[in-house]
Amino acid sequence: MCIRKLAFVGLSLLAAGCVAAHSHAAACTATQAEAADAAVDTLNSWAAVDAFRVKFKQCDDGSIAEGSSEAVARLLVDHWDTLHQLSPLIAKTPALRSFVLWHINSTLDTGDLDKIKQNAGHCPNGMQALCKSIAKAAVEASSAP
């Protein structure tokens, strides 16, 4: 009985810590959401995606996140030849890698996901680890319900 009580108290404290840590994240104001929504349409380069991530990460949810995902998809599908520009940005800011991979998701068109997987098979030199992660994210997004 005592062990169960300790486990419950420990889990409760852990959960409280997670809630407290999450509540410190900046909230997206209406003004920021409006600006983020407009900025999604300007995400035509990896540098723009990174700048968006920095400025609007607190707003990257719902329809704004779907727009971000579409912008990432357009770069990976229509502008695969710019992937070499992503690598130095990721080297400077590793969080960008997670941002890009998170936006390869089930909200994307299956044709785009297939093209991303295909493109990842034609990886620029020195970027094999990133391409493998991109392909994996596209496969996982394709199989998501």
Token pair for 17: 């810590």
What percent of the chain is modeled with pLDDT above 70?
A: 83
Token representation of residue 86: 């992503």
Give the percent of the chain with pLDDT over 90: 81
pLDDT tens digit sequence for 118-132: 999 999 999 999 999
CA–CA dist 102, 145 (Å, integer) = 16
pLDDT in tens, 13-27: 333 333 333 334 689
Whether residue 114 has pLDDT greater than 50: yes
Per-residue pLDDT tens digits for 73-93: 999 999 999 999 999 999 999
- Whether the CB-CB separation of 34 and 63 falls below 8 Å is answered with no
The string of DSSP letters for 53-81 reads HHHHGGG-SHHHHHHHHHHHHHHHHH-GG
CA distance 109 to 88: 28
Q: Domain boundaries in the chain?
A: 27-143
Q: Greatest CA separation found in the chain?
A: 62
Q: For residue 136, what pLDDT is reported?
A: 98
pLDDT at 10: 38
